[in-house]
Structure 1
């Protein structure tokens, strides 16, 4: 992997690939290269058969899901065509068919329990933004102070997944929690609107995605709640309520009154 690191990073930089996507691609390519090396093969000489055998390996031995395997295929295909400059035969290396599944939607009572027992204002702010505003954990981590607009009661989400920009809902209760958090963690006149809303340990950096995930996991486990509750599944509540319905915003935390479309 070291021989290709410079070329890979140059491509990512030229394309402006988000850091999260870079890490994902690098992790999967590294796993594939390690597998090939363990087979005593040279990476430059890999064939379609080698790739097929690796896919069977992660399917049968690692028992990865179809969606995860397709992500690996995407990473391998990128490495095979862009870095090794070889032709890709999609007929011999097909993507796996995925069975549609319902998203995991945590029970509202469980989420409210998480919020109510959390005394740490920073952690409480994480929860209300994930649940009440439907933000991804990476989006919460990268919020800036200026992204929160109390006048329009919305949150600006910039450079999100697939380099998209959008606005999300900000509830009145979430705003109250954010104000309490801001007052406790920021000194008056000692901040700039472009500063991170949730600073990390190192100066100039935002809180890590892993920190937010681990915070929720520890709290969930301490309360003995459903193990499927995670930073990612919290946002499914908003998604499940919006699909196929007319969304009417209610200022109370996490409540969205819905009327099904005719």
Structure 2
């Protein structure tokens, strides 16, 4: 799809202005690719430059996207891209306000038990895969954050992993446990011996040591390990992040601490894990039990 090929006044192409605006805000390459694609949807619909859109154009565009059967998350992603485009690239916030974001119930995430996580990690076929999945679970990282780690991001003095340009272009520190550090040192020794790890290189290189492992490959690794471990749940790399947060919550870690570790900008995003923390629910005493009614009666009702 050709996106934003028309010239813009004194600023190069409209496409390049959009790229520059996203780069200035340190958007990831994946986000930039998605925003270009979604602004391109509008250009294709209009058959002219998207910066010439009117209120009615945007209304017709959103109705058309809904009629072709796009899901709510996809439509909302398009809204995010177009709002950024109209606010920051063409300075038309009036148009951004015309875009409608749809509400949809968020499904509860699948979470593995501690035993299932152990079985999944045991089912990995090599040290690199074991280390990568252990980072995803042990530090609660997104799959793109795991893939983007470099050797220099490991700070063994402060016991943190430095996450550069995470979601939203934000930097943060993730936790680094002693056991995870030991595993990463084992992987460093093995990878350095194989010649695939360099001191300034990627922590998890792909087939070419000069490039990081792809998120698609990490997804395939998780799926294959779950299958080998006999785990029937739908499992992906993000399942390990969900499990990290849920297990911390069940262990009594404050939800605001978990919010910081996950890199969430909003607490209500982290609060979702309270709905799947079954150990936390089981630990609560029901007010009915405090009444001890059935104990006094001596028997349960028929």
TM-score norm. by structure 2 comes to: 0.67
Residue in 2 aligned with 1:52? 59
Residue 195 of structure 1: which of 192, 195, 201 is its match?
201
Report the secondary structure of 1:115's partner residue. Answer: helix
RMSD: 3.4
Residue 26 of structure 1: which of 26, 31, 36 is its match?
36
Residue in 2 aligned with 1:253? none
Residue in 2 aligned with 1:237? 243
1:162 aligns with 2:168: yes
Give 5+ residue unaligned stretches, structure 2.
7-13, 255-278, 284-302
**In 1, distance between residues paired with 2:235 and 2:212?**
24
Of stretches 128-137 and 97-106 in structure 1, the one that deviates more from structure 2 is 97-106
Cα separation, partners in 2 of 1:23 and 1:106, compared to 1, 3 Å:
farther
Cα separation, partners in 2 of 1:165 and 1:245, compared to 1, 3 Å:
farther
Q: Conserved in 1, the CA contact under 8 Å of 2:204 and 2:212?
A: yes
Cα separation, partners in 2 of 1:191 and 1:215, compared to 1, 3 Å:
closer
Cα separation, partners in 2 of 1:106 and 1:63, compared to 1, 3 Å:
farther
Q: Conserved in 1, the CA contact under 8 Å of 2:132 and 2:204?
A: no
Q: Conserved in 2, the CA contact under 8 Å of 1:213 and 1:231?
A: yes
Greater percentage in helix: 2
Per-residue CA deviation, residues 45-98 of structure 1 (Å, 9 max, x unaligned), is: 433233223323333432412x43222112122334444554534664332224
1:62 aligns with 2:69: yes
TM-score norm. by structure 1 comes to: 0.76
Per-residue CA deviation, residues 103-143 of structure 1 (Å, 9 max, x unaligned), is: 33233333322211112111111111111210111111111
**In 2, distance between residues paired with 1:190 and 1:231?**
23
Matches within 5 A, 1:61-80: 61-65=68-72, 67-80=73-86
**In 2, distance between residues paired with 1:43 and 1:169?**
43
Q: Conserved in 1, the CA contact under 8 Å of 2:86 and 2:95?
A: no
Per-residue CA deviation, residues 198-253 of structure 1 (Å, 9 max, x unaligned), is: 223445432222322232234445556445311122101122234587439xxxxx
Report the secondary structure of 2:109's partner residue. Answer: coil
Q: Conserved in 1, the CA contact under 8 Å of 2:43 and 2:49?
A: no
Residue in 2 aligned with 1:17? 27
Of stretches 210-219 and 140-149 in structure 1, the one that deviates more from structure 2 is 210-219
Greater percentage in strand: 1
**In 2, distance between residues paired with 1:56 and 1:92?**
13
Q: How many residues align?
A: 248
Give 5+ residue unaligned stretches, structure 1.
249-257
Report the secondary structure of 1:156's partner residue. Answer: strand
Report the secondary structure of 2:193's partner residue. Answer: coil
Report the secondary structure of 1:194's partner residue. Answer: coil
**In 1, distance between residues paired with 2:131 and 2:196?**
21
Residue in 2 aligned with 1:127? 133
**In 2, distance between residues paired with 1:188 and 1:218?**
24
Q: Which has the larger radius of gyration?
A: 2
